[in-house]
Amino acid sequence: MLENIINALPVNEDSRIIVTTRFHSVATTRREGDIRRVTGLDDKQSKTLFEQAFAESKGSKDVTIIWSEASATTAKTEEGDGAAHSPNKQANNSVNEGSKFATVPNEVWRMCGGLPLAIVTMAGHVACNPHKSVKGWSDLCSYLFPESGQDHRKQLTQEEVGRIISYCYNDMPAEIKTCSLYLSIFPKGHRISRKRLTRRWIAEGFVCEKHGLSVEEVAETYFNHLIRRKIIRPVEHSSNGKVKKCIVHDMVLEHIVAKASEENFITVVGGNWLMQPPSSKVRRLSLQGSDSKRAKDTEKMNLSHVRSVTMFGSLNNQLPAHLFKYGIVQVLDLEGCTGFKSHHIVEICRMVLLKYLSLRRTDTKCLPNKIKRLKNLETLDIRETDIVGLPNPICQLERLVNILGGNKTTRKALKLPEELKKRKKMKALRILSGIEISGGSVDLHHLTELRKLAIYKLKTMGGTASFKDLISSIEYLGGYSLHTLVIDDESSEFIKSLDDLSYPPKFLIALELYGKMVKLPNWMKQLNVLNKLTLSVTALRTDNLKDLSKLEALFSLTFSFRAKEQDRQTLAMVAENKLYSNGKVTVPEGGFKSLKLMCLSGFLLPLLSFSREAMPELERLELRYNMLEGLSGVENLAKLKEVHFTSDAKADEDTMTKDIVKEMEMALRINGKKSKIIVHQ
């Protein structure tokens, strides 16, 4: 295989081909060529990386590690005689979870041999074991590397790194280890969605309510613990600051896959792993290859006890025909699969025990009435499909918790069944996302468990039944558990009427309002726990920014416009906004105590000026536009790290952005700021 790859590459005297591998046998396959062993980090770099990873896992940049040079022998002596004359008495005791100090012997990071993976994994382990003494840590080093005279500054072998990973993995609580085994379902290098993962944990029964927390909150806790442990690594964040997607390091995933295979927890077919065929019944099946050989291997398996099926790639010749005969599958995840046919959905409706069904980004076009057979269904994910409406029989699925539909980018929406609008059905719903409301009665008062309501298309006029019902429903649900509200109002009449709410939704954590709006609802200033706010760019005015600056919990603020075409009325409203403060929109000084992210997106963005001491915590500023009138005072943003410009104009014609960037670079340089300016075309 390696020979074929090398022979296929072009030969050029001025070019170099670098191939990396963890296996020495692969590196020495060819005699010619320069083979170099990658060196690890030096002591200073290793120590710095350990401290950074430790602080991340503790959730604070202010945590200080007090390093102890005590060897295992010294630590045992001190621990044994309890000598009060110890030069650092804290070294004999572990610290509490909330302490700003932690005492760790230097050998903990030194034994990692300068390898980043081993260092950050061990740092996560140390951070999650705050009560261990210095003696305990020294004993651990001796346990992992009992070889006499071991010099831990030498680079570790793959087996030795695996020893560290294995120990740190086995140290986790049993329920979190179970959740981590689930990561082996996904292919190597796959970017795993946090919500997809946690919803599947819940459907599998790995998570239950505890200590007054809901199953969703417990699942979030488990996910965050895996991040602290460095088992998973964040690769994408949502605008509210939460991890959106994560990835598993190849070596960590290799260890997890081996564990999953050993315990017959998951059976992987295809992909990057050579997993032995199961000796007993298959419990969870992950199909990561679509060739006919893999299909034949699957056909030979005993699938009578399969509870979970996940597929990647094409359904053609991959979905086992006899899988549907048993009907005990509880989780079926086909997200992103191609080759979906009409008969597949009919067969899926035979899986009467199904709890989690994801058809996201498949070729599905409609749901049949037979969907009513899935009495146990809790999550239905049909986002980014051609499904535009839900059949009436779906209202018979009284255990449904999450209905995820529509397309957030294109604003394609999902029509609700008439039965849901008229009768008090589906009271267990917590998420109703991507829907369309266009007429008739829309009484949602009975959905008292609803936490998220996302309306991607709203077509209703003032005075109509649907208009009045929806206003009343939002007012009512706002006093219960509604935490996220998204409304895209084509007429803009509805969002303007929100100012008339008698009881504002004070418990909202996220609010998105799209349409033509200038005046904000008066109650918006009372949203003390609001974390994420998205408004139409027509609301970008100095007076509105002054009111919003009082929202102390606000993490991200976005002004955008979602219309397909920019009409004259919208452009006129944007142009008029700057007239309220001498031809520019001004961000006031003070306020915005927690704001980290600000995004502006629209055809025309007016001149924006930041006052001194404005947005003291802002770290990232994003601008997307066709025309940008200007930006000033960026140097006043004390903690700004990045400014992103994205112009829809052609690169060779966009002189406006170039001029603004030059002025900004000069202003930042004069004021000693080191913020990054990134231009996207």
- Residue range 433-441: mean pLDDT, rounded: 85
> For residue 407, which phi and psi values (nearest 5 degrees)?
-135, 115
Distance CA 664, CA 677 (A): 9
Residue 94 has pLDDT above 50, yes or no: no
The per-residue b/e assignment along 342-355, b for 16 or more CB within 10 angstroms, e otherwise, is eebbeebbebeebb
Distance CA 488, CA 495 (A): 9
Residue indicated by tokens 């040079």:
69
Could you tell me if 474 and 485 are in contact, meaning their C-beta atoms sit under 8 angstroms apart? yes
Distance CA 281, CA 495 (A): 55
Q: Cα–Cα–Cα angle for 610, 614, 619, nearest 5°? A: 95
Mean pLDDT of the chain: 85
Give the three-class secondary structure for 111. Answer: coil
DSSP structure class, residue 627 = E
Out of 6-10, 53-57, 461-465, the most confident range is 53-57
Sign of CA dihedral 522, 476, 530, 532: negative
Give the three-class secondary structure for 484. Answer: strand
- Residue range 418-429: mean pLDDT, rounded: 78
CA distances from 498 to 505, 517, 570, 573 (A): 10, 11, 20, 20
Checking DSSP bridges between strand 431-437 and strand 452-458, what pairing results, if any? parallel
Q: Where are the domains of the chain?
A: 1-34, 173-265, 563-680
For residue range 192-204, list pLDDT tens digits in order.
999 999 999 999 9
End-to-end, the C-alpha distance of the chain in Å comes to 38
Written as one letter, the residue type at 99 is S
Residue 247's DSSP bridge partners are 233
CA distances from 400 to 335, 378, 425, 426 (A): 19, 4, 10, 7
Residue 437's DSSP bridge partners are 458
Sign of CA dihedral 284, 286, 287, 289: negative
Could you tell me if 349 and 368 are in contact, meaning their C-beta atoms sit under 8 angstroms apart? yes
**Could you tell me the fold of the domain covering 173-265?**
Arc Repressor Mutant, subunit A (1.10.10)
With pLDDT > 70 as the criterion, what percentage of the chain qualifies?
A: 85
Residue indicated by tokens 């939704």:
505
> For residue 85, which phi and psi values (nearest 5 degrees)?
-85, 10
**Count of positions (residues) in the chain:** 681
pTM of structure = 0.87
Nearest to 361 by CA among 308, 431, 410: 410
Distance CA 407, CA 414 (A): 9
Query: What ranges make up the beta strands (E) of 153-232?
Result: 192-193
For residue range 634-679, list pLDDT tens digits in order.
999 999 999 999 988 776 667 888 888 888 888 888 888 888 999 8
Residues 6+ apart with CB under 8 A from 540: 559, 574, 577, 585, 600, 605, 606
- Residue range 476-490: mean pLDDT, rounded: 91
Residue 540 has pLDDT above 80, yes or no: yes
Angle between helix 158-170 and helix 134-144 axes, rounded to 10 deg: 140
Distance CA 240, CA 508 (A): 13
For residue range 370-421, list pLDDT tens digits in order.
999 999 999 999 999 999 999 999 999 999 999 999 999 888 999 988 877 6
Distance CA 657, CA 643 (A): 12
Residue indicated by tokens 């460095």:
230
Could you tell me if 584 and 609 are in contact, meaning their C-beta atoms sit under 8 angstroms apart? yes
- Residue range 99-122: mean pLDDT, rounded: 85
DSSP structure class, residue 157 = P
Residue 245 has pLDDT above 80, yes or no: yes
